[in-house]
Chains A and B, each alone.
Chain A
Amino acid sequence: MKYLFLDTSSFYINIAIISDEKIIYNRSVLNSPKLSESIFLLIEEAFHESNINTTDPGKIFIVNGPGSFTGVRVGVTIAKTMAWALKIPIVTLSTLELYATTEVEGKFLIPFIKDRNDYLYAGIYDNLLNNYMEDRFLHIDELSQKLSKSNQYVFVGYDEIDTAYEVIKPELNILKIIGKHLDDEIIDPHHVNPNYLKKIDAEINLEKKLNDSKDK
């Protein structure tokens, strides 16, 4: 069975082809705002180099956020369209959990992606990818309050961040995350969508307006 792994959600585009639980192709290139212009060249290359047909994948692993809204959407659109057309299972993975595949001994991992105004996307995992704080969008102070003094933590991310804890860059282990989610419940591709974790301003403002008028 051959699997396609695709991640266009954040700083790097990661494409891998897995055959019989071994990685037979793996490429990581810097993501850019011109992702849509390059992504199919990269996918074509992946299929070509690993000598498989476009109809060969038996399962798709797609990283569906959090991260760049456009980046996540490009990857998820490809994955859900492909899974639907080929009638194959699709599994969604968290960008933050993917960061948490980085090998760290005896510490909790806090994978993160920085947003504006000291807000970030973050979760808390251990090195077996067990989750201790669900991925969420929060202020860095709010995150600090959630951390226990008796535990050791390491932040895992590409951004610079102002914290007393150690900060390391992700070293992705694709087999580790795929192994963890190999038997995840099968989702209908129609229902596979980005996990933005953040509402858009227009919606927040509208809700505020509706609530205010309710109060009156």
Chain B
Amino acid sequence: MNSKYILAFETSCDETSVSIIKDGHTEIATVVLSQIDIHSKFGGVVPETASRAHIENITIVIEEVLEKANMKIEEIDAIAVTYGPGLIGSLLIGLVAAKTLAFIYNKPFVPVHHIAGHIYANNLVKPLEFPLIALVVSGGHTELILMEEDYSFKYIGGTVDDAVGEAYDKVARVLGLSYPGGPVIDKLAFTGKDTYDLPLPMDDTSFNFSFSGLKSAVINMAHNEKQRGNKINIENMATSFQNRVVEILTKKTMRALKKYDVTNLIVAGGVAANKGLRDRLTELCNENNINLLIPNINYCTDNAAMIGAAGYYAYKMGRRFDDILKAKPTDVLH
């Protein structure tokens, strides 16, 4: 069979990214333009600013990826794009630019769910083995997904309030740390001690998560210490907070693997770059004979390579946009 090349777009949040992927597993070229410097001034992503930056960069990024790959759009077999979830104004730029090219060159136009992309980022490292459970953790998502075969997704559980990455950002802000909060807290957590008595959030038999209570506990504790005139120990708070997060994530993940009798675990999303989480999962998977797959750090954050990988399977399964072009900011994975 001839190789299939997917030109993929990802603009769901604050990264403008375009990639060319061969056969769902080989990266030909990827360009990611991060807006993190713009948004860090505001302490978080400003949706209108994000859309403005996407439109300024989109054609530059497309041109760069084609130059890097030394390919022409005519040589591409299909165009794939993240249609959701994400920020509507950001999604639209990628969708509209991708659709314009699909329209001009009459290429199949394939919708990809952002989370499917995060999961398939792992396929660029090693072919996925089924059945598997995916723990998707990022600034916008905290989900457990069961996959029995390619491009079939069963939702087992997820956050009922804040996403885990979001909780990191908010806690970082309370502690006076920079945005994004994940990497900073992760680093500090390795230097402190678990001295603060924070609750283990939503420690029940479900596969759902809740991080809003844990975040509030940190805020309250910081507030109380301040009232008493005590300085909060930031390192120790980082360690205490991260330990609770890692404990609940790993506890429910390991239980899901057992319940569904699955021995393959993949981790996806920006928080998969968290060293505390990576270390603990590696340890637990070794103890329990689970094959653990965590993508390289550059595939953990939002990028179009993962959309190209997922897009290949979506393309093979015949998934296409119908005539209307719809961004779905809150669509669930199916």
Binds B, one of A72-80, A99-107, A136-144, A156-164: A72-80
Name the interface residues of B40-66: CB closer than 8 Å to any CB of A.
41-42, 46, 48-49, 51-52, 55-56, 58-60, 62-63
CB distance from B60 to the nearest CB of A (A): 5
Which of B46, B49, B51, B325 gathers most chain A CB within 10 Å?
Answer: B325
B46, B63, B92, B105: the one contacting A70 at CB < 8 Å is: B92
**CA gap between A84 and B100 in the complex, in Å:** 11
Q: Is the CB of B100 within 8 A of A77?
A: yes
Give A174-216 interface residues, CB cut-off 8 Å to B: 189-190, 193-194, 196, 200, 202-203, 206
Query: Is B101 on the interface with A (CB-CB < 8 A)?
Result: yes
In the assembled complex, which residues on chain B have CB atoms less than 8 Å from the CB atom of A196? Answer: 52
Does the CB pair B324–A81 fall under 8 Å?
no
Cross-chain contact B92 with A36 (CB below 8 angstroms): yes
Kindly state whether residue A54 has any CB partner on chain B within 8 Å.
Answer: yes
Instruction: Report how far A40 CA is from B295 CA in the complex, Å.
Output: 36
Count of chain B residues with a beta carbon within 8 Å of a chain A beta carbon = 33
Cβ contact of B103, chosen from A54, A76, A84, A189, cutoff 8 A = A54
- Cβ A77 vs Cβ B55 within 8 A: yes
B105: A residues at CB distance < 8 A = 54, 85
Query: Is there an interface contact between B59 and A54, defined as CB atoms closer than 8 Å?
Result: no
Given the known interface contacts A54-B106, A73-B93, A76-B55, the answer about A38 and B62 at a Cβ–Cβ threshold of 8 Å is no
Is the beta-carbon distance between B100 and A37 smaller than 8 angstroms?
Answer: no
B48 touching A43, Cβ below 8 Å: no
B81 interface contact, C-beta 8 A: no
B104 at the interface (CB under 8 A from A): yes
- From A85, A190, A193, B104 is in contact (CB under 8 Å) with A85
Please tell me if A1 contacts chain B, counting CB pairs below 8 Å: no
A87 to B308, CA, bound (A): 25
Inside 8 A of B99's CB, which chain A residues have their CB? 40
B277 within 8 A of A: no
Q: When chains A and B are docked, how far (Å) is the Cα of A76 from the Cα of B59?
A: 11
| Tally of A interface residues using CB under 8 Å | 32
Query: What's the least CB distance linking B219 to chain A, in Å?
Result: 22
Task: Name the B residues within 8 Å of A21 (CB-CB).
Answer: none
Docked complex: B58-91 residues within 8 A CB-CB of A: 58-60, 62-63, 73, 89
Query: How far apart are B331's CB and chain A's nearest CB, in angstroms?
Result: 15
DSSP majority for the B interface? helix
Binary flags per residue of A34-76, CB closer than 8 Å to B gives 1, else 0: 0011111101100000000011000000000000011001101
Chain A residues in 8 Å Cβ range of B58: 77, 80-81
- Docked-complex contact B92 and A81, CB < 8 angstroms: no
Contact with A along B5-44 (1 / 0, CB 8 A): 0000000000000000000000000000000000001100
Q: Please, which residue of chain A has its CB at the minimum distance from the CB of B51?
A: A73
Inter-chain contacts of A86 with B (CB < 8 A): 104
A122 interface hit (Cβ, 8 Å): no
Chain B residues within 8 Å of A193, by CB? 55-56
Residues of the A chain whose Cβ atoms lie less than 8 Å from the Cβ of B171: none
Q: In this assembly, does A82 line the interface, its C-beta being within 8 Å of a C-beta of chain B?
A: yes
Interface residue ranges, B against A (CB under 8 Å):
41-42, 46, 48-49, 51-52, 55-56, 58-60, 62-63, 73, 89, 92-93, 95-97, 99-101, 103-106, 323-327
Listed A/B pairs (8) with beta-carbon separation below 8 Å:
A43-B103, A73-B92, A77-B93, A81-B58, A190-B60, A193-B55, A202-B42, A206-B41
Known pairs A81-B58, A81-B62, A200-B52 / 17 extra A-B pairs, C-beta < 8 Å: A36-B327, A37-B324, A39-B96, A43-B103, A77-B58, A78-B96, A78-B97, A81-B96, A85-B100, A85-B104, A190-B59, A193-B55, A193-B56, A196-B52, A203-B46, A206-B41, A206-B42
